[in-house]
Amino acid sequence: MLVIMRDHATQAEVDHVVGLLHEAGAEAHLSQGEVKTIIGVIGDREVMYALELEGLQGVEQVIRVLKPYKLVSRDFQPEDTVIKIGSATVGGGAFAMIAGPCSIESEEQLFATARAVKASGATMLRGGAYKPRSSPYAFQGMGLEGLKLLRAAGDEVGLPVVTEILDVRDAEKVAEWADVLQVGARNMQNFRMLDELGTINKPVLLKRGLSATIEELLSAAEYVLKGGNRDLMLCERGIRTFETYTRNTLDLAAVAALKTLTHLPIIVDPSHATGRRELVAPMCRAAVATGADGLMVEVHIDPEHARCDGPQSLRPAEFDALVSDITPLVTLEGRNFGRA
């Protein structure tokens, strides 16, 4: 349920409504703009409707929300969420360019890549310290040592860092070293992890599951916001279909749909979606045109010898050309790179 307060409702009127909701055992989540306040209500629907809130001073309208997600919806918050991450800004017209290697392999490899993507215009540095691999014999990442290298590389080039968290037990450790905690596709519906990330004061990047519907993605996001963490970005990274030429199928229609359904920033990952280096740039251009709030691209100084996802990783020169290529498109779409 959503309680829409009248324009310029007083704080006392808002507090009175919230107090009644709490007395009835409901949770109240406020979205306060300059003019209007919207209260998202989570609780027993029949009890909430029995309160007859529309008759209260300052209340304009009560809307029954049938969707399984509420806090992430544009009904609750019409304006775009804007997230400040160190020197970077995402959402509300600020476009993010997240780049770096799929996996942190060595200090030399990471620092060289970090310097290259920074010089080309990246706004955040990505790198995997813990790697979820289909084969138990594949390289699993450098773990804590990789996290420390990622932090050091980000600090050297002046970029916030993004890395994946694989296990809820590692949440605090990863949060200590990273600026953004990424939830991979395989963990999208790891509800215990999502609950934990809702209590951590760090931005979260939630990737769409391999076969997840849009509703399932938004419902997963609801777990994080319900816990109190409003700094959440969604990531379209391709879904599994019958097509085998590409690694996955990049669902750009989902990006356009999400922009109408949620206020959260939408990031597109064309590297995992296509699995093919030559397809990354065209999909980046398409993502910008579709309304994405940012891109996450894999870059490696020596893709032929990468320990993970070499065929989909751009070389530094290719990434530099990509940024030059999409900059006019970002501007044409009325956005700008979210740099300090």
* Residues 40 and 28 sit within 8 Å (Cβ to Cβ): yes
Task: Read off the tokens for 225.
Answer: 């916001």
Chain CA centroid to CA 15, Å: 31
Select the more confidently predicted residue: 48 or 281: 281
Report the predicted TM-score, pTM, of the whole model to 2 decimal places.
0.88
Select the more confidently predicted residue: 49 or 40: 40
Q: What is d(CA 284, CA 124) in angstroms, rounded to the nearest whole number?
A: 16
* Residues 160 and 180 sit within 8 Å (Cβ to Cβ): yes
Task: Read off the tokens for 302.
Answer: 């020596």
Residues 176-200: tens digit of each pLDDT: 999 999 999 999 999 999 999 999 9
Sequence-distant (6+) residues with CB within 8 A of 322 are: 280, 281, 284, 297, 314
Residues 272-322: tens digit of each pLDDT: 999 999 999 999 999 999 999 999 999 999 999 988 889 999 999 999 999
Residues 105-160: tens digit of each pLDDT: 999 999 999 999 999 999 999 999 987 766 776 677 788 999 999 999 999 999 99
